[in-house]
Structure 1
C-alpha cells in the first residue's frame, strides 16, 4: 500500500511516500519519496502540502495520512476523513490554535487535489489515551473537569515511534519497560512510557502546558494569567498571542527561538540568551526527575525532536547533574551523534542507557494508516 504521510509542524512541512503494509514493524516499509519544506506558516503550509500531493500522485497513492494535533476525547486512533471528523477537528481549534486550523485547511486542500485518494487523520494525542485518571484529571470539581477539560498530551506520534523502536537498540538485559522519552523541538514534551503505554506526559489540555518551548511559555501559575488579565491590560486575544507566540526561548532571549542563534550569542556573553538556554534545560531536567518518580525508575532515556537531534550542547545542558538518576552522558559520543540515525550517547558504565533516536513521524503515520485500512472492517 502506497501512502503519503503529511506532517505539518511548527514552521515546516515534512512528507514521505512509503510502500508499507498494515503489519509493518517500526522500521519496515520502502521509502519512495522524502521531502521537507522549511520556513512555512499558515497558508504557505497549506500550499506546500498541495504541491507535495501533486508531486507524489504519479507514484500511485492508495491513501494520504494527515498528522492532526488535537483529536480531543473523540478518537483513540486514526480515523478516515469524513465530514464528522472534520467537524471535530474544527471544534478543537481553540485548544490547538497553532495547529488544528492549519491541519484542517491542509486536509481540505489536499482532498480537492486528490479527490479519489482515501484520507486518514492520525491524531497526535491518541497515544496518550492510556493515561491513568490520576495523570489526566485536573484538580477541579468533577462537574467542571469533564469532556474536553482534561489533560490530553501531544507529540504522541513521535513518542509512539520512539517507544516502539527503542527496545531494538538496547542490550538484551536492558529491554525492560520504563522509558522516559524527551521530544525537544519548537514544541517540546516528555513522556513516561511503561510496558509500551503512555502513563504520563508534560503537555496537557493544550500544547501550551509543560516545558519551555520555542515561542510557547510552558507551565505558568494560573494566578499569573488572572493577574495579567486584571492588571496588565491584556485581553484574551493578546494573552493568547503572548503565551503562544512571544514567550519561551524567544521571549526570554528577546532575540530568537533558534538554538543556532542563541548558543553563539550566549557564548559571546549575551546574558538573555544564556538565561533562555538555562531555563529551557532546567525545565527538561525537572520533568525527567518527575517522570523517573512516576515510573519508579528508568530503564532507558531517549531524546528526539529537532533541537535535541541537532545540538549536542542542548543535550548536555538538559542532562547535566542527573548522574544520581543513573544518567551518565559520554561527551565524545554525544558530540559525534548525527541527527539522521540512532546513536547511544551514554557512557559504557551508565546504569541507564541514553539514546538519541530521531523520531520518524511520517513512517509512523503511514504505519497507522495502513493498519487502519487493512484491518478488519
Structure 2
C-alpha cells in the first residue's frame, strides 16, 4: 500500500511517498516559498535529487507539481496517481475532540476549523491540504494524524492550568502538548529496547528547532512540556519556552508592545537566537561557544539546564525512570547537550557513557554505561512512518 504523506505549512509543503508495510520510502521532498516564487526539492531512488523552480501561487499548484513529479519525468517513482491508495495528513491541533487519528470528513474539517483559534498558523494550512487532496484525488481516503492526540491521556491535574475554571469550560484553555507523533514513536521504540514488559517509565526529549519533553508511563503520556500552544516549555530555536506572566507584562509596558508584537518576540526572536544573538541553529551556536563567544556558551548552558529540570520533574511524576530518550535534530546529533543534560543524574540511576555518547550513528542506540540502572537511548524519530501506518490501519479497518 502506498501512502502519500502531507505536511502543509503556511508557505511550505513537505511530503513523502511511503509503503508503511515495509517502511520503504519511494520519494521525499518539500515545496518552499509558496505564494512568493516557488521551489520544489525532490529526492528519490538511490540518493537522486532534483530541484524545480517555478511559480507556486497557492498550495494547489504545489500539490499538483508534486503529483506530476512523482508520476512523470526525471523524478518519476510511480506510473500513476492511481498507485497512491491513501493520503495521510499531519494535523497540528486536535483539541480535546481528537484523541487519535481519524478519517477526514466534512465533520472533521469543520471541527478543525473551530479549533483554528488554538493553532492559527497551522490548522488553516493543514485543512487546506486536506481539501486540495480531496479535490485533486477524488475518492481517495484521507486521514488526519494529530500532533496533540498522543497527549490526550494526560490526567486532568497535569493538563489543567490554575486559572479560573471557566477559562477551561468556555475557551478550552489547558495544556495540549505537541510533537505527539514523535513522542509516540520514540517511546514505543524505547519500550521495545527495554528488557521490561509492563509499567515502563520513559522520558522522551524531542529536541530540534521546536523542542518538548514527555513523560510516558506504560505507553501513555502522563505529562508534556508544551502547553496550549508550542511556545510553552523548553527554550527552543526562536521560542522562549516558559516565561513568567509578570515579565511579559513588564516588557509590554516598558517597550510599548501590543500583544501581537509581544507574541512575535516570544515565538520568533527568543530562545537560542535571542540569547546567543548569533543564530537559531544550535550547530552555529556550539561553534561560537567553542571559539569563546560567551553568549553562545550561555545559550548552550541554558538549553541543557532547562531540559534537565524537566527530566527531573518528569522522573518525579513517573516515580522513577527506566529510559531517558533523545530524538530530533539536536537530540540525535548534539552529544554535548546530551552530556550536559545527563551530568549528575547518577542519583536517578542514569549514567551516560562518554565514548558511546560521542559515536555517531543513524540507528537507535544505548549510550548508558553497562552498570547504569536506567537506560539512556538515542532514537531517530520517524513521524512520517507514524502518519503512514495510522493511515494504513484506518483505511484497512484495523483500528
TM-score, normalised relative to structure 2: 0.84
Q: Which residue of 2 aligns with 1:354?
A: 376
Q: In structure 2, the residue corresponding to 1:302 is in which secondary structure?
A: strand
2: CA distance, partners of 1:192 / 1:178? 7
The answer as to 2:161 corresponding to 1:142 is no
Q: Which residue of 1 aligns with 2:268?
A: 245
The answer as to 2:53 corresponding to 1:31 is no
Match of 1:344 among 355, 363, 366: 366
Structure 1 window deviating more from structure 2 (219-228 vs 55-64): it is 55-64
The answer as to 2:222 corresponding to 1:234 is no
Where do 1:50-89 residues align within 5 Å?
Answer: 51-56=65-70, 58=80, 60-89=83-112
C-alpha displacement at 1:195, in angstroms?
Answer: 1.0
Cα–Cα, structure 1 residues 102 and 36, in superposed 2: closer, same or farther, change >3 Å? same
Q: Which residue of 2 aligns with 1:369?
A: 391
- Verify the 8 A CA contact 1:16 1:31 in the aligned structure 2: no
Q: Which residue of 1 aligns with 2:146?
A: 123
1: CA distance, partners of 2:23 / 2:111? 33
C-alpha displacement at 1:69, in angstroms?
Answer: 1.0
2: CA distance, partners of 1:294 / 1:19? 38
The alignment of Structure 1 onto Structure 2 pairs a total of residues equal to 367
1: CA distance, partners of 2:232 / 2:259? 17
Match of 1:209 among 208, 228, 232: 232
Cα–Cα, structure 1 residues 54 and 87, in superposed 2: closer, same or farther, change >3 Å? farther
C-alpha displacement at 1:331, in angstroms?
Answer: 1.3
The answer as to 2:324 corresponding to 1:331 is no
1: CA distance, partners of 2:328 / 2:34? 21
The answer as to 2:193 corresponding to 1:169 is yes
C-alpha displacement at 1:277, in angstroms?
Answer: 1.3
1: CA distance, partners of 2:63 / 2:333? 25
Q: In structure 2, the residue corresponding to 1:159 is in which secondary structure?
A: helix
Structure 1 window deviating more from structure 2 (349-358 vs 73-82): it is 73-82
TM-score, normalised relative to structure 1: 0.89
2: CA distance, partners of 1:50 / 1:29? 27
Q: In structure 2, the residue corresponding to 1:366 is in which secondary structure?
A: helix
Root mean square deviation, CA, Å:
2.5
C-alpha displacement at 1:41, in angstroms?
Answer: 6.2
- Verify the 8 A CA contact 1:7 1:361 in the aligned structure 2: no
2: CA distance, partners of 1:160 / 1:343? 18
Q: What's the CA shift string for 1:71-117, capped at 9, x where partnerless?
A: 11111111222333333333433433443333233334444443342
1: CA distance, partners of 2:12 / 2:306? 25
1: CA distance, partners of 2:159 / 2:34? 30
Q: In structure 2, the residue corresponding to 1:140 is in which secondary structure?
A: coil
Instruction: Specify every segment of 5 or more residues in structure 1 that has no aligned partner in the other structure, as ranges.
Output: 21-27
Q: Which residue of 2 aligns with 1:318?
A: 341
Q: Which residue of 2 aligns with 1:6?
A: 6
Asked which structure has the greater CA Rg, the reply is 2
Q: Which residue of 2 aligns with 1:23?
A: none
Match of 1:193 among 213, 216, 219: 216
* RCO comparison, higher one (Cα < 8 Å, 6+): 1
C-alpha displacement at 1:31, in angstroms?
Answer: 1.0
